[in-house]
Amino acid sequence: MNNTPTESNTDISHTLGLDASPVGTTRLKRRLIWFGLILLMAASVFKWTTHATTVKVGYKTQPVQIGNMTITVSATGNLEPTNQVDVGSEQSGTIKTVEVSYNDQVKKGQVLARLDTTKLEAEMKKSKAAMAIARAVVLQTQATVNETQKVMVQLKKVRELSHNKAISEYDLDAAEAALERARADEAGARAQVLQAQAVLEYNQTDLAKAIIFSPVNGLVLSREVEPGQTVAASLSAPVLFTLAEDLAQMELHVDVDEADVSQVKEGQTAVFTVDAYPNQTFPARILQIRYGAQTTDGVVTYETVLSVDNRGLLLRPGMTATADITVKQIEQAILIPNAALRFTPTQTENSRQKQSGGIGSVISKLMPRQPGRHNDSPKQNVSKGTDDNQQVVWTQEVDRLHPIFVTIGATDGTLTQVTSGDITPQMALVVDTVSGDE
């Protein structure tokens, strides 16, 4: 029996699940919803993979230069006068007058201060009196000597006239002994004169030291006393004034680190700055590198002395200075940026790896390969050798990086000298990576 068209349509609808019954309608809606979700997920994945594959990693480059390089060593220290003199007092007493002040120009022999000399003058008068007494004693002893000598002569004459009968030998010996005693007293008196003379000169010296004179021509840097102040010089001479002989010529004392001291030599030039003039540099020249080491917080340094021309008197003692000592100059050298030596690529980027791969690309994004089963890093294939001067720099050729082996020399902290290697001027060296979207 032949089926009618209505029966055929019914069978097809039943097969597709399009029955007009409520159960069939619910199934249809569920299938349509799942189909739509699958399409939406596929579109999202496709858009994400397409966007991800258009991300490109670029490289920042800097050119190779030809130029001069100056290698410097930095050190800090303080400015000091070429000849600084501390003027003190050997004499104790009370300051009577102070005749100079700060920044005064003084001449050699000029009076700086005076002590009260009342006691010193009394001591000197006393010593003069003792001197006069000693001289009087000398005159007295001389008279005694003359007297005993005449007695001795008289006794000898009488003995001679009496044919040795009037004067006994004992009397003659006693007279001779008296004469010797008189001469001894005279000698002692003369010694007393010398002693009194020494005391007088000592007191005169103390009196002279009560006046403080300038030992040099210079400038008064500090004054530590005022009139009426007591100076006690029993143990050590107290410092009353500090003088700088000539501020037109000064010295800069800096501490050079032990790692740099081998490069520093006498006669090398330097420039330095001070906080008072931050935009101005001052020239200097190395005079001496001292062998004595100084250790501060575990850091070993060596004091280095530089001469400074200060005819303008802009610089002052005690100023803190930062000096750059020129230890080496290289002319017409091949120079590369230090950033190029520090750059190391982590993976090879090229346009083939960035092209969209359709479904395969999606699968590779969703199921990445396990680490260690592939090698995209050129760094792992490049060896720098055992020599620290052997380095690797990178150039970009089309869409790939190419390593270049170089031998480096001196550096100033920004640029480094290349002594050998396949490097040409203006060659672009990679210094960093730059990421962006197409």
The CATH number of residue 279's host domain is: 2.40.30.170
Q: Does residue 344 form part of some domain?
A: yes
Domain that holds residue 421: 55-67+335-437
Would you say residue 12 has pLDDT above 80? no
Q: Does residue 20 form part of some domain?
A: no
In DSSP terms, 63 is beta-bridged to 428
Residues 105-134: pLDDT tens digits? 999 999 999 999 999 999 999 999 999 999
Q: Does residue 8 form part of some domain?
A: no
pLDDT at residue number 357 = 44
Across the chain, what does the average pLDDT equal? Answer: 83
pLDDT at residue number 382 = 52
- Rounded distance, CA 86 to CA 360, Å? 89
pLDDT at residue number 176 = 87
**What is the rounded average pLDDT of the residues 76-94?**
93
**What is the rounded average pLDDT of the residues 315-326?**
95
Q: Does residue 260 form part of some domain?
A: yes
Whether 339 and 433 share a structural domain: yes
Q: Does residue 29 form part of some domain?
A: no
Whether 189 and 203 share a structural domain: yes
Whether 321 and 343 share a structural domain: no
Whether 384 and 313 share a structural domain: no
- Spatial contact of 394 and 402, defined as CB atoms under 8 Å apart: yes
**What is the rounded average pLDDT of the residues 180-201?**
93
Whether 293 and 166 share a structural domain: no
pLDDT at residue number 81 = 94
Whether 127 and 226 share a structural domain: yes
Using DSSP bridges, classify how beta strands 320-337 and 269-274 pair: parallel, antiparallel or unpaired: antiparallel
Choose the final residue of a domain: 277, 298, 329. 329
Residue 398 confidence class, pLDDT cut points 50, 70, 90 = confident
Q: Does residue 395 form part of some domain?
A: yes
Would you say residue 288 has pLDDT above 90? yes
Tokens representing 220 are 């008064």
- Spatial contact of 97 and 223, defined as CB atoms under 8 Å apart: no
Would you say residue 374 has pLDDT above 80? no
Whether 201 and 274 share a structural domain: no
Choose the final residue of a domain: 329, 363, 382. 329
Among the residue ranges 150-164, 258-272, 396-410, the one predicted with the least confidence is 150-164
Q: Does residue 223 form part of some domain?
A: yes
Choose the final residue of a domain: 176, 204, 231. 231
Q: Does residue 27 form part of some domain?
A: no
pLDDT at residue number 347 = 56
Residue 48 confidence class, pLDDT cut points 50, 70, 90 = low
**What is the rounded average pLDDT of the residues 315-323?**
95
Whether 347 and 425 share a structural domain: yes
Residue 412's CB is within 10 A of a number of other CB atoms, namely 15
Whether 306 and 340 share a structural domain: no
Whether 346 and 427 share a structural domain: yes
User: How many domains does one find in the chain?
Assistant: 3
Whether 63 and 94 share a structural domain: no
pLDDT at residue number 42 = 76
Would you say residue 358 has pLDDT above 50? no
Residue 397 confidence class, pLDDT cut points 50, 70, 90 = confident
- Spatial contact of 412 and 70, defined as CB atoms under 8 Å apart: yes
Of 222 and 237, the structure prediction assigns the larger pLDDT to 222
pLDDT at residue number 192 = 94
**What is the rounded average pLDDT of the residues 351-375?**
43
